């Protein structure tokens, strides 16, 4: 018999290895050797598989006669060997408290927890098992075992189903979509959905939605630069609830409907806005012109700034964004600071006339406006008073 034991006791190791005399092995199986309780349990569990049927039967009988308190102590001890914990997990007559201790013990083998989850009649034990999400992810067979047990409670069923949905079903769905996209030559879309948090049940997007959005992804990972995103801004990517995303989608759909947008665009708006915020940010950097025109209106300023940092964005798009009164003022500030865009007169002209442009940015731009535009701006009641006064001063100075 070649069974590994953790005990350093030479007597235990000799009995388990088979080098001890037959009489000593039988005495050990009957519990007659002077051993500590933890050593005795490890030895007896090992002897249950002995080639000598008499020794194996005696070890089984001795184990059955152990005091429940001793078994309970072993179930909760951090140094109890895994084979002993596996044996305890399989004991049908083990009390609820001991079963819970086995389920909570980090040394219990995953396979033993699968058996326990399948066989226990205690709903409380299944709840303890379902709480350990790390173990469920490592051994998804436990999820199947809990769901197959008629003793499961509503809470234990809910937890294991949530874990399955979050870490297996959603991941599998996104992976399948990505593989199919890559097979069709849609590499940029495949990269996007391989790490997507939004595809699958609970994520906001169905697989059909993913295919619709995939048509609007044109920038690959190697072409984007996210160095503009400071780490201290990551707190703005805290996950929104589905209800918050739905409210945002409803608002933008209402704006699109007012502009007599096509039904296809309305459908695209809704699907994009139901994505989680991290995915919307990535789409802002990787999406095509239509996706950018939707996401620039996102109420999350990080998503809107991702659009500005999309490598495919054009001067014409920036010119239109500079005139928007619903865009983030931070986006307008970034446009004003960009040297290439600041050389485009239509862009800075729109920034100067936009009441949402930050005051310092607008003041700097005034110096570059033509006199006739300064005069018009000085009479524009939509811009702040400070801008109108400064435009009047500059216009008067140039006229004189």
Quick one: CA dihedral 62, 64, 68, 74, positive or negative?
Answer: positive
Token readout for 4 is 């590994």
Residues 238 and 348 in one domain: no
Mean pLDDT of 363-380: 92
Residues 17 and 101 in one domain: yes
Where does the pLDDT of residue 332 fall: very low under 50, low under 70, confident under 90, or very high at 90 and above?
A: very high
Whether the per-residue pLDDT at 159 is higher than 80: the answer is yes
- Which of 230-234, 304-308, 374-378, 383-387 has the weakest average pLDDT? 230-234
- DSSP for 59-119, written as a single string: HHHHHHTS-HHHHHHHHH-TT--HHHHHHHHH-TT--HHHHHHHHH-TTS-HHHHHHHHHH
Mean pLDDT of 223-228: 86
Q: How many domains does the chain fold into?
A: 3
Residues 14 and 133 in one domain: yes
d(CA 219, CA 187): 9
d(CA 44, CA 59): 5
Token readout for 369 is 């406006």
Q: Which of 263, 282, 313 is the last residue of a domain?
A: 313
pTM of the model: 0.57
Where does the pLDDT of residue 93 fall: very low under 50, low under 70, confident under 90, or very high at 90 and above?
A: confident
Residues 24 and 81 in one domain: yes
Q: Residues 6 or more apart from 104 whose CB is under 8 A from it?
A: 76, 128, 132
Token readout for 39 is 């050593």
pLDDT digits (tens, 9 = 90+) for 58-89: 988 999 898 888 889 999 998 899 999 999 99
Contact in structure between 274 and 204 (CB atoms under 8 Å) = yes
Within a domain: residue 237?
yes
Mean pLDDT of 163-175: 69
Whether the per-residue pLDDT at 2 is higher than 60: the answer is no
Where does the pLDDT of residue 281 fall: very low under 50, low under 70, confident under 90, or very high at 90 and above?
A: very high
pLDDT for position 360: 94
The b/e string for 101-122 (b: 16+ C-beta within 10 A; e otherwise) is: bbbebeebeeebbbbbbebbeb
d(CA 103, CA 87): 12
How far from each other are the two terminal CA atoms of the chain, in whole angstroms? 107
Give which of 206, 142, 134 is closest to 173, Cα–Cα. 206
Q: Which of 139, 174, 204 is the last residue of a domain?
A: 139
Mean pLDDT of 111-123: 95
Mean pLDDT of 150-154: 94
Residues 320 and 351 in one domain: yes
Give residue 388's domain range: 314-400
Judged on CB neighbours under 10 Å (0-12, 13-18, 19+), 363 is: middle
pLDDT for position 172: 63
Following CA atoms 229, 357, 246, 233 in sequence, which dihedral angle do they give, to the nearest 10 degrees?
20
pLDDT for position 40: 86
If one compares 14 and 390, the residue with the highest pLDDT of the two is: 390
The b/e string for 277-309 (b: 16+ C-beta within 10 A; e otherwise) is: bbbbbbbbbbbbeebbbbbbbbebebbbbbbbb
Residues 128 and 115 in one domain: yes
Where does the pLDDT of residue 48 fall: very low under 50, low under 70, confident under 90, or very high at 90 and above?
A: confident
Whether the per-residue pLDDT at 233 is higher than 70: the answer is no
Q: Which of 139, 160, 182 is the last residue of a domain?
A: 139
pLDDT for position 203: 65
Where does the pLDDT of residue 111 fall: very low under 50, low under 70, confident under 90, or very high at 90 and above?
A: very high
pLDDT for position 31: 87
Q: Residues 6 or more apart from 290 whose CB is under 8 A from it?
A: 216, 265, 268
Residues 301 and 329 in one domain: no
Within a domain: residue 112?
yes
Following CA atoms 341, 345, 347, 353 in sequence, which dihedral angle do they give, to the nearest 10 degrees?
140
Within a domain: residue 113?
yes
DSSP label of 167: I
Token readout for 345 is 């007169």
- Backbone torsions φ then ψ of 79, nearest 5 degrees: -100, 10
Within a domain: residue 381?
yes
Mean pLDDT of the residues in the chain: 87
DSSP label of 31: T
Question: The tokens 């295919």 sit on which residue?
Answer: 211
Within a domain: residue 146?
no
Taking phi first (over 0 means left), then psi (-120 to 50 degrees means alpha), and beta for anything else, what does residue 314 get? beta
Give which of 79, 147, 70, 73 is closest to 129, Cα–Cα. 147
d(CA 12, CA 35): 9
């Amino acid at each position: 018999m070649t069974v590994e034991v953790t005990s350093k006791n030479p007597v235990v190791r000799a009995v388990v290895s088979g080098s001890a005399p037959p009489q000593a092995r039988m005495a050990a199986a009957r519990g007659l050797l002077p051993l500590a309780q933890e050593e005795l349990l490890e030895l007896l569990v090992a002897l249950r598989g002995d080639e000598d049927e008499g020794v194996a039967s005696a070890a089984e009988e001795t184990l059955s006669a152990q005091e429940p308190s001793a078994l309970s102590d072993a179930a909760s001890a951090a140094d109890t060997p895994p084979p002993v914990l596996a044996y305890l997990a399989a004991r049908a007559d083990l009390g609820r408290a001991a079963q819970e201790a086995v389920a909570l013990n980090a040394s219990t083998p995953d396979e033993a927890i699968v058996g326990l989850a399948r066989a226990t009649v205690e709903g409380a034990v299944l709840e303890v098992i379902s709480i350990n999400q790390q173990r469920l992810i490592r051994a998804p067979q436990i999820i199947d075992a809990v769901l197959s047990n008629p003793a499961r409670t509503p809470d234990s069923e809910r937890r294991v189903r949530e874990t399955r949905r979050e870490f297996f079903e959603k991941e599998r769905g996104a992976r399948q979509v990505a593989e199919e996209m890559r097979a069709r030559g849609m590499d940029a879309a495949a990269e996007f959905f391989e790490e997507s948090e939004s595809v699958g049940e609970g994520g906001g997007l169905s697989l059909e939605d993913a295919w619709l959005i995939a048509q609007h992804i044109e920038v690959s990972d190697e072409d984007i630069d996210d160095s503009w995103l400071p780490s201290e801004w990551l707190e703005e990517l805290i996950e929104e609830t589905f209800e918050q995303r739905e409210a945002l989608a409803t608002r933008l759909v209402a704006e699109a409907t007012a502009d007599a947008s096509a039904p296809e665009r309305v459908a695209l708006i809704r699907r994009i806005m139901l994505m989680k915020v991290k995915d919307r940010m990535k789409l802002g950097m990787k999406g095509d012109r239509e996706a950018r025109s939707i996401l620039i209106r996102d109420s999350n300023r990080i998503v809107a700034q991702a659009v500005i940092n999309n490598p495919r964005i054009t001067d014409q798009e920036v010119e239109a964004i500079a005139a928007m009164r619903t865009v983030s003022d931070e986006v307008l500030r970034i446009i004003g600071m960009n040297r290439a865009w600041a050389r485009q007169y239509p862009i800075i002209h729109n920034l100067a006339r936009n009441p949402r442009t930050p005051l310092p940015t607008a003041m700097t731009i005034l110096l570059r406006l033509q006199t006739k535009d300064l005069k018009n701006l000085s009479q524009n009641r939509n811009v702040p008073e400070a801008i109108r006064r400064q435009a009047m001063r500059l216009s008067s100075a140039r006229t004189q």
